[in-house]
Chain A
Amino acid sequence: MKIDATGGSDVAPADVTPLVQLVAPDGSRVVGPDDAALRERVAHLTTDDLRAMYRDMVLTRRFDDEATSLQRQGELALYAQSRGQEAAQVGSARALAGQDYVFPSYREHGVLHVRGVDPVDRLRLYRGEDHGGWDPNEHNVHLYTLVIGSHALHATGYAMGIQRDGLVGTGDAARDAAVVTYFGDGATSQGDVNEALVFAAVNNAPVVFFCQNNQWAISEPTTKQSRVPIYRRGEGFGIPSVRVDGNDVLACYAVTAEALERAHSGGGPTFIEAYTYRMGAHTTSDDPSRYRDLAEEEQWRRRDPVERLEALLRAEGGWDEAWAAELEAEAEAYGERLRDGVRALGAPAAETIFDHVYATDHAQVAAERAWFREYESATAGEEVAR
């Protein structure tokens, strides 16, 4: 193999691997020779189901646009967009059962939408008001993890706990549980993700590794992370692995449903690479014009996942203008609620700095809290020099 001077390889992973795809970019159904089992997994989805998925994706994109604006207005410290990844997130999350548990990275706004995490709560972290923002056990969604890939191990350990609880392979679909963890292409270079794959494989843990390969880890293309297609890393650990068109919501739903069935029934982990694109910047602090070209962005814009589902609905008679107008009005109201809700978030009381550092008394925390309380009360009303 020839290695170029920049360290990249001359093998373009995208060119050599077939994608699982059930809906083409033009909205037509794809009928491949080996897809019968996967097509069967979406056969039960009605027009209403497809509309519900479309609604999830539209509201997720609205969330993205509103949050980006709020950041520009100074209401958020930072925001990481999910634009372009709505199909991967909504499709996979819709395949989950209520008792399944999610360990997200920090861009999984579509997953959290499907799981019912309040949109305002989802922005507390980016507002600088909370390091988390929601009760993980209320929605079976762990907090966002900002250290890349660390949570893949937490997901695997959690899945090992589910095994020990005897909730794998019971044959009762209402009880069997699994874990899905989300991360990106960059995270696959982290030791923790690789160790998670090792632990999951040797323990046969009920965990689905859902990698959204959005082509960019901030400014670094996937070729800086791997010389083989990302999904083949899973295979190297002995884990069934698949690459799916991440902009095809039905294909993402189908492969995740298949992986969850494997996990629930005791078949162990699965690695899914959802091949997609980060249409926006890494975060509101990033400037993609410095490292990627407009032609690429334009090429992916033609593969927009929201437009693809719209095209499918139109092609199959599921599109209705009155319904679409209603959804647009709903999105407007949703945006307004989000803006108002975020602006209404104040700062926590200063003394909460010392809350929940430990479960039980800790002498140093107690002493510093007492000092701080006294200092604050002695200087109350005075102008603070920072």
Chain B
Amino acid sequence: MSTQTTTQTLTFARAITEGLRAALESDDKAMLMGEDIGRLGGVFRVTDGLQKDFGEARVVDTPLAESGIVGTAIGLALRGYRPVCEIQFDGFVFPAYDQITTQLSKMRYRSRGRLEVPVVIRIPYGGGIGAVEHHSESPEALFAHTAGLRVVSPATPQDAYDMIRAAVASPDPVLFFEPKGRYWSKGEVTLGGPVPDAGTPGVLDTARVARAGEDVTLVAYGPTVATALKAAEALAAEGTSAEVVDLRAISPLDVPTVAESVRRTGRCVVVHEAPSFLGVGAEIAARVSDECFYSLEAPVQRVAGFHAPYPVAKLEHEYLPSVDRVVDAVDRALSF
């Protein structure tokens, strides 16, 4: 494959398409599986055109059965293939939860490294699109709690492109959470070049500082990175300098990057759509208290979903972390 690069302005969704295309071109064992991903191109059109270009054996319209998709992907991976499964919506991953947690995550471990199951599971997740029940959820912590899985979520088109390529190349199973509310956002994407993560640590292991600041650290990932950046903008107008850390990976968690930031700022606010109770923010708070105890000026604040089922669309903006709620949490941290 050419190492030539080109730069284009793409939507987040299209960046993933191009990442999948690059993976299919560079590795003839790579294949895509899912419901409606072939002729239709997926309900979000992320796989648009790929079946036409790579054929029905490599871009597979599967029966409507999530456990079947992941379970057969495991079998294909054991035979040497690299399946990328699309779960149509976050709330529909649960029929496959058993295959993911009891089989996929443990296959390498229980075989003492003799078996490899490089399966990627793409899950459009998160809310804010006015959807019906089961179409707006954020179950990432449930998977991050399971050893053997890598759990990642890009926040920018460039990371979406780089991280999906790295995920397909990874020998470990990867849960790839796509912030569906960001699918239509655009950005410059450099296409081509070598597969990221050829050496570690890479985009599947490390957080990035999305905005530098001095007074408070906002930790976010996936859909809430944009919210945190907007909040930082609003805070700047009030004279508060917020640093934004985009985790990118939830498992593994890049604690050093977060801790380095919080040691400088003394304050930490975690922002995610998933409920706060036992969520990623709880783990961040524990790690920050371990690593930054003497630097903290205030308890770690969390801005997250509530311990209630995802509400009806008419109320989702009351439920989701907003710029105002992030600013409010920062004010609490500053006035502690």
Contacts and interface: CB of A to CB of B under 8 A. Distances in A.
Contacts of A192: 67-68, 71, 98-99
A312 B27 CA distance: 54
Nearest to A138: B114
A198 B79 contact: no
Contact of A155 (B75, B77, B200, B254): B75
A156 B110 contact: no
A145 B170 CA distance: 25
Q: Quick one: which of B106, B147, B253 has the most chain A CB within 10 A?
A: B147
Contact of B116 (A132, A164, A359): A359
A360 B173 CA distance: 11
A78 interface: no
A355 interface: yes
Interface string B249-268: 00111110000000000000
Interface in A145-172: 145, 147, 150, 152-162, 164-165
B75 A160 contact: yes
**Interface size for chain B: under 10, 10 to 19, 20 to 34, or 35 or more residues?**
35 or more
B279 to A, nearest CB: 16
Given A158-B75, A161-B80, A198 B68 contact: yes
B120 to A, nearest CB: 14
Contacts of A142: 78
A154 B74 contact: yes
Contacts of B205: 361, 363
A152 B71 CA distance: 8
B103 interface: yes
Interface residues of A, number: 42
Given A157-B73, A161-B80, A191 B95 contact: yes
A150 B79 contact: no
Interface in B53-100: 57, 62-63, 65, 67-68, 70-81, 95, 98-99
A290 interface: no
Contacts of A132: 110-112, 114
A372 to B, nearest CB: 14
B76 A153 contact: no
Contacts of B113: 355-356, 359
A191 B106 CA distance: 20
A202 B56 CA distance: 13
A325 to B, nearest CB: 40
Q: Quick one: which of B62, B103, B113, B170 has the most chain A CB within 10 A?
A: B103
Nearest to B75: A157
Interface of A: 130-132, 135-137, 142-143, 145, 147, 150, 152-162, 164-165, 191-192, 195-196, 198-199, 202, 355-365
Given A132-B111, A195-B68, A195-B71, 6 more contacts: A136-B115, A150-B98, A191-B67, A192-B71, A199-B63, A355-B112
Interface of B: 31, 57, 62-63, 65, 67-68, 70-81, 95, 98-99, 102-103, 106, 108-116, 147-148, 150, 170-172, 200-201, 205, 251-255
